A and B are shown apart, each in its own frame.
Chain A
Amino acid sequence: MASDSRTKEMLKELHDAVLAFDEDRTTELCHTVLREGIDAYRAVAEGLSQGMNSASDRYEKMEYFVPELLLCSDALYAGLDILKPAVLASGKRTGTKGSIVIGVVEGDIHDIGKNLVKTMFEAAGWTVYDLGKDVKLERFVEEQARTNSEIVAISALMTTSMLAMPKAINMLREKGSKARVLVGGAPLNADVARKFGADGYAPSAATAVEEATKLIEALKKQRQQG
């Protein structure tokens, strides 16, 4: 077992390596975590994921842009690939914050934003079910029912394809889904999201987790009351 101070030092180094989008260093550090018996769950939650959260903050402040975020994401996933088996073996769960079904609507293949949002949710400890791009609307309904996810996140980049959003939301409601629907994409704003019947709107990848967290808290409160 590593000492507290050594663990803290490694967590910071993991954070910094992801933030510096240094995939090689992240990989090396993750092997060190395993070798030195450092808690792999903490290494993921407080090291790798926090690094991605800091990257998201920099994106929000326009200090990082998509290229940097993509490389941070590569470093994150390289680290997760190494540490996840140890986390699973330890019996600690990583997906404890909530679960989300995510995809780009039918008729639309623009998935850069969706992929970044997915990374942010994974870094924040959510379980993500990624349907990909050009997703048939019924797939959102089926996947939400299969996984009982609290959030369905739908993305579109075109003014035509965004018209699929109210259809998908209606389909979810008609099936009795209580999941909260979060929408995002360049042609939307909060007013249009409301008009489409969405519960939430995320103007950027950096704000999606925060918005979903608010939605899930409201959902939990509603469940407790009802």
Chain B
Amino acid sequence: MALSNDRMESLERVKALLNGQPVDRVPVFPFALGFCAKNVGYPIASMYDNPERSFEAQLWTQEMYGWDYPPFYGYASYGSWEFGGPIEFPSSELQQAPTIPYFPVQSEKDVDNLKLPDVTKAGMLPFAMQFCKLQQEHGLPIVLVVGGTFTMAGNICGVEKLCRWMLRRPEVADHLIGMARDHILDVVRHWAETFGGRNVAVQIWEPSAANQIISPAQFEKFVLPYQRSLHESILSMGIRYILCHICGEQNLNLPYWAQIPMGNPGIVSFGHEVGLDAAIKHFGGKCIVAGDIEPRVIQEGTPQQVYELTRQCLQKAKHSPLGYILMPACELPPMAPPYNVYSMMKAVNDFGGYA
């Protein structure tokens, strides 16, 4: 359902923003998965193990709230299953997303023996492909979600082990992160061949490289080179832009992230720990900036607090040079009170418009 002040359709609005054309209001990417499942009465697991249900739950919830960004398939623990490990889909009310019960790589020898997965068969990739074919059938952009190189390496061996190897056995860490990058490139190439590079938008989520875990020096050594070559290769496949979710506290990494190409224009989204002022300072001149409504406030705050926080974000970022997308700072909490989510959209209607 359109907001009362809308003068454009959702897809029209997103396309206009990406093409550098005027839009009627700030678009909204809700970053919502489990919330959509709850909204339509499906189990949260269906967002991950049932592409058809995941797609329709997102489409219906998008229509209900007037969101703009199209449905997408993905989860942050991507990597374990694809490299031969296990994955567990959410099975209780307390679980938000798939989890990794144990990692496929336990030792340096396992790293030596690791093989790049067959991207037509491995792990969740058949689900992701099925989902993207639904996007294609509905005339929507093809959105492929992958992890950042460091996050994926952490999903293969465990973040603690990766951290230890960074200091003790840097060549092992390098090899594993390199394999993660090569796998992501294989996936993107498969998608580009299937749908055409121009039709694919890649989302990259990178939570594990946050400064809550690694230092900026470690980022420079173990993230920057791999992430930069990943993005360069993706863009060389004809893919026009990358939506990069720079998750968590990454203030000290921003100068390095700013060296990584995101496309023309890229979209960078941030955790609330970074703040929209810093995001615009580092990226406003070359990317569309997205963020950063704190999920805790959406779930635990009052409707008035959500409305006010949304107003503040719009005020700070709606005039970012290449545009702004309102987005939660991370996944919209599945248990968020619906009225809080409505309050976010009400603020967009009241303060997100362009003259």
Contact = CB atoms under 8 A, between A and B. Distances in A.
Nearest to B213: A66
B197 interface: no
B92 A67 contact: no
B166 interface: yes
A161 B214 contact: no
Given A65-B214, A68-B167, A159 B299 contact: yes
A159 B167 contact: no
Contact of B335 (A62, A65, A106, A159): A159
A37 interface: no
A160 B160 contact: no
Contacts of B46: none
Interface stretch (A120-128, A185-193, A208-216, A218-226): A185-193
Interface stretch (B15-23, B94-102, B275-283): B94-102
A163 B211 contact: no
A159 B295 contact: yes
Interface string A38-77: 0000000000000000000000001001111011001000
A21 B335 contact: no
Contact of A195 (B93, B100, B300): B300
Contact of A159 (B159, B166, B333): B333
Interface string A82-105: 000000000000000000000001
A160 B99 contact: no
A188 B297 CA distance: 10
A117 interface: no
A34 interface: no
Contacts of B213: 65-67, 112
A149 to B, nearest CB: 23
B120 interface: no
B140 interface: no
Contacts of B101: 109
Nearest to A106: B94
Nearest to B296: A187
A67 B166 contact: yes
Contacts of B97: 158
Contacts of A66: 159-160, 163, 212-214
A180 to B, nearest CB: 22
Given A65-B211, A67-B214, A105 B94 contact: yes
B34 interface: yes
B93 A160 contact: yes
Nearest to B95: A107
B133 to A, nearest CB: 29
B248 interface: yes
Interface residues of A, number: 29
B94 A108 contact: yes
Q: Size band of the B side of the interface?
A: 20 to 34
A221 to B, nearest CB: 31
B168 interface: yes
B315 interface: no
B96 A159 contact: yes
Interface in B110-150: none
Contacts of B296: 159, 187-189, 192
Nearest to A115: B160
A164 interface: yes
A159 B160 CA distance: 22
B215 A160 contact: no
A67 B100 contact: no
Contacts of A186: 212, 248
A65 to B, nearest CB: 4
Contacts of B166: 67
A66 B211 CA distance: 9
A161 B164 contact: no
A107 B94 CA distance: 5
Contacts of B99: 109
B94 A160 contact: yes
Nearest to B165: A67
A159 B299 CA distance: 8
A160 B212 contact: no
A67 B217 CA distance: 12
B207 to A, nearest CB: 10
A192 B94 contact: no
A108 B211 CA distance: 21
Given A65-B213, A66-B213, A70-B164, A161 B218 contact: no
7 contacts: A67-B167, A70-B163, A74-B164, A107-B92, A159-B96, A159-B333, A192-B300
Identify the 3 closest CB pairs spanning chains A and B, nearest first.
A107-B94, A159-B333, A67-B163
Given A66-B159, A108-B94, 17 more contacts: A62-B211, A66-B213, A66-B214, A67-B166, A67-B218, A70-B164, A71-B164, A71-B167, A74-B164, A108-B95, A158-B95, A159-B96, A159-B299, A159-B335, A160-B94, A160-B335, A189-B296
Interface of B: 34, 92-97, 99-101, 159-160, 163-164, 166-168, 211-215, 218, 248, 252, 295-296, 299-300, 331, 333-336
Interface of A: 21, 62, 65-68, 70-71, 74, 105-109, 112, 115, 158-161, 163-164, 186-189, 191-192, 195
